Amino acid sequence: MKRKEFIEICCFVSIGCTTIGFIFQSCSNPNFFAKANVVNNKIVLKKSEFKQTDFGNPNKRNFILIKIEAFEYPIYVYKFEEGDFSALLMKCTHLGCELQPYGDYLVCPCHGSEFTNRGKVQHSPADENLQTFEVTTDDENIYIHF
C-alpha cells in the first residue's frame, strides 16, 4: 500500500468514527424537550408528552424539559403520579449555572450542588431551594403558572 492510500484510508476511518459517535450520542440523549405553548402567563403542556414513543419505545418519561422565551433557563417538569407534577427552574441557586438532570436529581456542573425533583437542596454549596412554579392539570393538559 502506498503512503497516499494509507493516509486517505486513515482519514475516511477517522471521519466515519466521528460521525458514528455523534449519531449514537444524539440517539442516547435522555433529555427530552417537550412542545409547549404560553397562554396568559401559563405554560400549556400536553400530558401525552410524558409518553416516550420515539424509536418504538412504549416507556413513559419521568421528566421532561421545556424552554420558553420568558426564561433564560429551561424548566424541569417531573411527574410523580397522575396529577402530581413539579416544575422547577433549572438555575442553580449558588451562582446561577444551568443544572443538568441526573436521574431524579438536578446536578450543577459548576460546583456540584444537587437538588431533588421537588427543588430541595441536597448538597451544598447552594443553600437555597430552586424556584418552583405552581402546577395545575385537567384531563389533557398540564398548566405551569408563572
- Residue 126 in contact with ligand FES, rule: CB under 6 A: yes
Min dist CB 93 to ligand FES, Å, is 8
Interacting residue with ligand FES among 38, 46, 65, 125 (CB under 6 A): 125
- Residue 94 in contact with ligand FES, rule: CB under 6 A: yes
- Residue 38 in contact with ligand FES, rule: CB under 6 A: no
Measured distance CA(113)–CA(136) in Å, rounded: 28
- Residue 101 in contact with ligand FES, rule: CB under 6 A: no
| Residues whose CB falls within 8 Å of the CB of residue 54, separated by 6 or more in sequence, listed in order | none
Min dist CB 25 to ligand FES, Å, is 24
Min dist CB 94 to ligand FES, Å, is 3
Residue 125: cis peptide before it, omega within 30 degrees of 0? yes
Which residues, in sequence order, are bridge partners of residue 136?
A: 143
- Residue 95 in contact with ligand FES, rule: CB under 6 A: yes
Interacting residue with ligand FES among 89, 113, 117, 130 (CB under 6 A): 113
Alpha carbon distances (Å) from 94 to 10, 90, 118: 47, 12, 17
Candidates 39-47, 60-68, 89-97, 134-142: pick the segment binding ligand FES (CB under 6 A): 89-97
Alpha carbon distances (Å) from 97 to 1, 87, 91, 131: 52, 18, 6, 14
Output the DSSP codes for 98-144.
Answer: BPEEETTEEE-TTT--EE-TTS-EEESS--SPPPB-EEEE-SSEEEE
- Which lies closer to ligand FES via its Cβ, residue 38 or residue 121? 121
| Contact residues for ligand FES, defined by CB under 6 A | 92, 94-97, 108, 110-113, 125-126
